[in-house]
């Protein structure tokens, strides 16, 4: 699962696809799959899987006993409990926010639904570390709220900006859009006939919503919850700033503080297994959901809010205040103070150029590597092609810090010349975000008419010639979408950059993290604002816009 699946159909999977003739099968053409296509696909899968497999080899090279001792020595059980509690807490709070918000935007007569829908999705552009240091600056000791309340004699506030509560708020308030956008689409696709039948049977209000509406959107509930869990498990920026020790922070401290790659590798494997466990749970839950029978699409009539209209507007306004107004206003305030101190945006020019450079390189490499597995999987539809594509797309399910550690361990053993080079850093980005490029490429190839490819082969083009002359040019919009998503997520990536960057190499993400960790909040304003501006348009265009513009309600009113 990837965030790009919110906007780009097809995802990175391929389960339960109907059998279709292959692009290069014997039937009709007498040609086999291009060996070059197969080799490129296998190469992309190997790039992703080999370093990750080597982490397990490194962690277990001295046997299970030493492995378990390493985990126990670094409080493995405690890390497991804290990480799982955080993931479950973030999901629970995100559900409490996303479900009512999505319902209000998708199915009710809420005034200005489209505007509220857009505002509800805006937190998606905020990286977790920006959310965390904003939370600390506002709610922490000697924060803005404490300073304001001090005028009324209130000298101390509960410690909610640090520890578990701080991590919970920072992650839930800014990751709920992953679930929220999926639920908007699901609520709009729900069957109104079932709701009408339940009304006839005596179910009204909450009873109808719980018994009829929510069961129809269970796949989206499970999928969105998994996205949030994967984000929480992979997060490093927020937990490091609010000082809540999870697997990611422990791995970083073991590697940077203890210089012990064995302990770091052991913790990384534990985090990988935890990630796989959550994915397996989601897959099992989705398999238990019976697919809804196909029915004609009917216009959805808005549910009148009545006396709930004012409380609903208050709820949405409060969420907009905490997730949009406060972080943006805080950063603008810090930016103004930085200008007063004589620290203009020029001080982040080099980090910005570095970020753009490595992000562009990662996007270019990712879209090139994504073409072969996406085309082979979509056109070939063989079991081997599906397996290779899933291996190539495995990186997104793993935290960036695990991928970075895998490349460190692998490069020091086999490629010592590559350690702390830009090439290794770009490789980590590609492994991490290749699924986004594959998802975009696969959606693009699915939209290419097969008749055009058949015509090119009839005119004498080889399979490879057809791909280069017809298929790939027609995929250019999807390729551009994938490149934009990879570029955006690379710009925001923090833990992999901290571990793998060359000495003295600084990006916008590392600049924000280091200045925030040292308490120099005014110096975080310029890089944070640049990063948010760079993120806003791609996130809106490729993720938010397609969801919010789909299937209007049948009221003809203002949206």
- 43 and 125, same domain (yes or no): no
Q: Helix 35-60 crosses helix 383-392 at what angle (to 10 degrees)?
A: 50
- 51 and 85, same domain (yes or no): no
- 136 and 92, same domain (yes or no): yes
- 113 and 54, same domain (yes or no): no
508, 527 in Cβ contact below 8 A? yes
- 405 and 467, same domain (yes or no): yes
310-348: string of b/e by CB count within 10 Å (b at 16+)? Answer: eebbeebeebbebbbebbbebbeebbeebeeeebeeeeb
Asked whether residue 413 is domain-assigned, the answer is yes
Give bridge partners of residue 303 from the DSSP assignment. Answer: 108
Asked whether residue 10 is domain-assigned, the answer is no
Concatenate the DSSP letters of all residues of 279-348 into one string: HHHHHHHHHTSPPPPP----PPPPBP-GGGHHHHHHHHHHHHIIIIIHHHHHHHHHHHHHHHTT--GGGG
- 256 and 189, same domain (yes or no): yes
- 54 and 188, same domain (yes or no): no
- 354 and 409, same domain (yes or no): yes
- For the chain, the distance separating the N- and C-terminal CA atoms, rounded to the nearest angstrom, is 30
Concatenate the DSSP letters of all residues of 55-71 into one string: HHHHHHTT-HHHHHHHH
Asked whether residue 7 is domain-assigned, the answer is no
Residue 268, domain extent: 74-291+302-317
pLDDT value, residue 344: 60
> What is the distance between the alpha carbons of residues 501 and 257, in angstroms, rounded to a whole number?
17
Tokens of 505: 């190499």
Among 282, 317, 352, where does a domain finish?
Answer: 317
pLDDT value, residue 543: 78
- 283 and 146, same domain (yes or no): yes
Asked whether residue 192 is domain-assigned, the answer is yes
Asked whether residue 335 is domain-assigned, the answer is no
pLDDT value, residue 297: 58
- 308 and 361, same domain (yes or no): no
CATH for 462: 1.10.3720.10
Among 248, 282, 317, where does a domain finish?
Answer: 317
Give bridge partners of residue 506 from the DSSP assignment. Answer: none
Asked whether residue 171 is domain-assigned, the answer is yes
- 365 and 246, same domain (yes or no): no
Number of independent structural domains in the chain: 2
Asked whether residue 19 is domain-assigned, the answer is no
- 109 and 45, same domain (yes or no): no
Asked whether residue 9 is domain-assigned, the answer is no
> What is the distance between the alpha carbons of residues 230 and 179, in angstroms, rounded to a whole number?
12
Q: What is the pLDDT along the chain (559 residues), one digit of tens a residue?
A: 444 445 443 333 333 333 333 444 333 333 456 788 888 888 888 888 887 788 888 788 777 777 777 777 778 889 999 999 999 999 999 999 999 999 999 989 999 988 999 999 999 999 999 999 899 888 888 788 887 877 777 777 778 889 999 999 999 999 999 999 999 988 888 777 666 666 656 666 666 777 777 888 888 999 999 999 999 999 999 999 999 999 999 999 888 876 677 788 888 889 999 998 998 898 898 888 776 655 545 667 788 898 999 999 999 999 999 999 999 999 888 888 877 766 666 678 899 999 999 999 999 999 999 988 888 888 776 778 878 887 787 777 788 898 998 898 889 888 899 998 999 999 999 999 998 888 888 888 888 888 888 888 888 887 778 878 888 888 888 888 889 889 989 999 999 999 999 999 999 999 999 888 777 778 888 899 889 988 888 888 877 888 777 555 555 444 4
pLDDT value, residue 162: 92
């Amino acid at each position: 699962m990837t965030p790009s699946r919110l906007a780009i159909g097809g995802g990175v999977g391929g389960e339960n696809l109907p059998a279709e003739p292959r692009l290069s099968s014997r039937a009709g053409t007498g040609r086999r799959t291009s060996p070059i296509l197969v080799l490129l696909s296998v190469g992309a899968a190997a790039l992703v899987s080999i370093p990750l497999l080597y982490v397990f080899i490194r962690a277990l090279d001295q046997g299970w006993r030493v492995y378990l001792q390493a985990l126990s020595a670094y409080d493995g059980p405690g890390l497991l409990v804290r990480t799982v509690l955080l993931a479950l807490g973030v999901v629970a709070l995100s559900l409490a926010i996303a479900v009512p918000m999505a319902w209000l935007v998708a199915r009710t007569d809420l005034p200005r639904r489209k505007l509220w829908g857009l505002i509800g999705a805006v937190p998606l552009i905020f990286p977790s570390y920006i959310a965390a240091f904003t939370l600390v600056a506002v709610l922490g000791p000697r924060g803005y709220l404490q300073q304001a309340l001090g005028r009324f004699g209130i000298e101390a506030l509960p410690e909610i900006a640090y520890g578990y509560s701080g991590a919970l708020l920072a992650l839930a308030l800014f990751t709920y859009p992953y679930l929220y956008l999926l639920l908007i689409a699901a609520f709009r696709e729900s069957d109104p006939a079932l709701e009408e039948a339940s009304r006839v049977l005596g179910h009204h209000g909450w009873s109808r919503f719980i018994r009829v509406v929510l069961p129809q959107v269970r796949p989206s509930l499970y999928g969105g919850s998994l996205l949030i869990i994967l984000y929480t498990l992979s997060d490093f920026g927020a937990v490091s700033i609010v000082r809540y020790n999870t697997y990611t922070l422990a791995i970083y401290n073991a590697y940077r503080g203890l210089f012990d790659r064995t302990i770091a590798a052991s913790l990384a494997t534990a985090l990988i297994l935890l990630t796989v466990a959550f994915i397996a749970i989601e897959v099992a839950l989705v398999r238990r959901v019976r697919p809804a029978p196909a029915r004609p699409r009917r216009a959805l009539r808005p549910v009148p809010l009545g006396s709930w209209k004012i409380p609903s507007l208050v709820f949405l306004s409060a969420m907009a205040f905490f997730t949009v107004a406060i972080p943006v206003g805080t950063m603008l305030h810090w930016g103004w103070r930085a200008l007063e101190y004589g620290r203009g945006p020029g001080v982040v020019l080099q980090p910005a150029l570095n970020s753009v450079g490595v992000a562009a390189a990662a996007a270019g490499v990712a879209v090139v590597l994504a073409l072969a597995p996406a085309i082979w999987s979509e056109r070939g539809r063989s079991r081997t092609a599906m397996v290779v594509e899933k291996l190539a797309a495995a990186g997104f399910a793993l935290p960036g810090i695990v991928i970075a550690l895998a490349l460190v361990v692998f490069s020091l053993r086999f490629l010592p010349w590559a350690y702390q080079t830009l090439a290794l850093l770009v490789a980590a980005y590609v492994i991490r975000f290749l699924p986004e490029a594959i998802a975009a490429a696969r959606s693009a190839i699915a939209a290419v008419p097969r008749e055009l490819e058949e015509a090119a082969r009839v005119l004498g083009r080889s399979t490879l010639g057809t791909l280069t002359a017809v298929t790939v040019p027609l995929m250019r919009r999807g390729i551009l979408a994938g490149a934009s998503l990879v570029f955006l997520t690379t710009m925001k990536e923090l833990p992999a950059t901290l571990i793998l960057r060359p000495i003295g190499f600084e990006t916008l993400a590392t600049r924000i993290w280091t200045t925030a960790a040292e308490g120099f909040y005014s110096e975080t304003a310029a890089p944070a604002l640049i990063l948010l501006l760079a993120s806003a348009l791609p996130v809106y265009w490729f993720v938010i816009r397609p969801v919010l513009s789909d299937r209007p309600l049948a009221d003809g009113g203002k949206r």
